[in-house]
Amino acid sequence: MAEIETTVGPEEGIHGRPAARFVQTAKGFSSQVVILKGDREVNAKSVLKITGLARKGERITIRAEGEDAEQAVEALAELISADEH
């Protein structure tokens, strides 16, 4: 299992195009990936679940379980903390 805590970067938070980009990236990994925010845990490969989950500047945790878990959390954390999409 791998886990990274990060801050949401995009101006509009997680939805729309940044959300689509995030989910596309998550789907590229075979690991199961979830996002944790507060006491919520959602499937990181579901755009409907991650939409509206967090706003710019909020802390989230990305957790993955599987063969490519390390790579998955790193790639996704970098994507979601960047300010541009």
Partner 1 sequence: MKLTGIGASEGVAVGPSFVPDTDRPEPERDRITEDEVEAELARFRKATEAVAASLAETGAGLRSSGHEEEAGIFDFHVEMAEDPELASSVEERVRKLHSPEAAVLVAGEEYATQFAEMDEYMAARADDVRDVTGQISAELMGRSNSSFAAMQTPSIVLARTLAPSDTARIKAGLALGFVTAEGSRTSHVSIMARSMGIPAVVGVGEALEGALDAKRVAIDGNEGTAITDPDEETVARFQRMSAALAEERAALDEYRHVEARTSEGRRIEVAANLGSASEAEDALGWGAEGVGLFRTEFLFMEREELPSEDEQYDAYSAVARAFGEKPVIIRTLDVGGDKDLPGVDQAHEENPFLGWRGIRMSLDTPDLFQPQLRAILRAAADGNIKVMFPMVADVGELKDARMMLQETRAELEAEGVRTGALETGVMIETPAAALCAAELARESAFFSIGTNDLVQYTLAADRGDERLRRLQSADHPAVLALIRQTCEAANAAGIPVGVCGEAAGEPDMIPRLLTLGVTELSMSPPSIPRAKKVVSEL
Catalytic annotation, residues = 15
If one asks whether residue 35 binds partner 1 (CB under 8 A), the answer comes out as no
- Give least dist CB 37 to partner 1, A: 14
Whole-Å CA distances, 4 to 36, 41, 78: 10, 14, 10
If one asks whether residue 76 binds partner 1 (CB under 8 A), the answer comes out as no
If one asks whether residue 41 binds partner 1 (CB under 8 A), the answer comes out as no
What token pair was written down for 1? 């299992």
If one asks whether residue 20 binds partner 1 (CB under 8 A), the answer comes out as yes
Residue 64's DSSP bridge partners are 2, 33
